[in-house]
Amino acid sequence: MIRKKQQKSEIIIDLTGPDGNAFALMAYAKNFARQLGWNAEEIDELIKKMTSGDYENLLQVFDLYFGSFVILER
């Protein structure tokens, strides 16, 4: 697989390490959402979506909202 050189604005989360567990990813999501100016209700709705399925669903929801600046690596 060929990857372009990492840009400074990208954040990489290694899913095989401790940052890849569901609780850590939800913490990242809350932190990113706060930084983007989301209110508590919007953040709660995001967490509900993330926990409405299995781990793959959590990853898909995370990527949907934060995939423009976060890379999830397996």
Residue pLDDT, tens place only, 17-73: 999 999 999 999 999 999 999 999 999 999 999 999 999 999 999 999 999 999 999
pLDDT score recorded for residue 5: 58
Burial of 8 (0-12, 13-18, 19+ CB in 10 A): exposed
* Residue 35 forms part of a structural domain: yes
Number of domains in the chain: 1
Q: Are 29 and 62 in contact (CB under 8 A)?
A: yes
pTM over 0.75: yes
The span from the CA of 47 to the CA of 7, in Å, is 28
Domain that holds residue 60: 18-73
For residue 50, what pLDDT is reported? Answer: 98
**Is 50 in contact with 26 (CB distance < 8 Å)?**
yes
**In this predicted structure, what is the pLDDT of residue 10?**
83
pLDDT of residue 2: 45
1 occurs within a structural domain? no
Contact 53, 17 (CB under 8 A): no
Question: How much is the pLDDT for 6?
Answer: 54
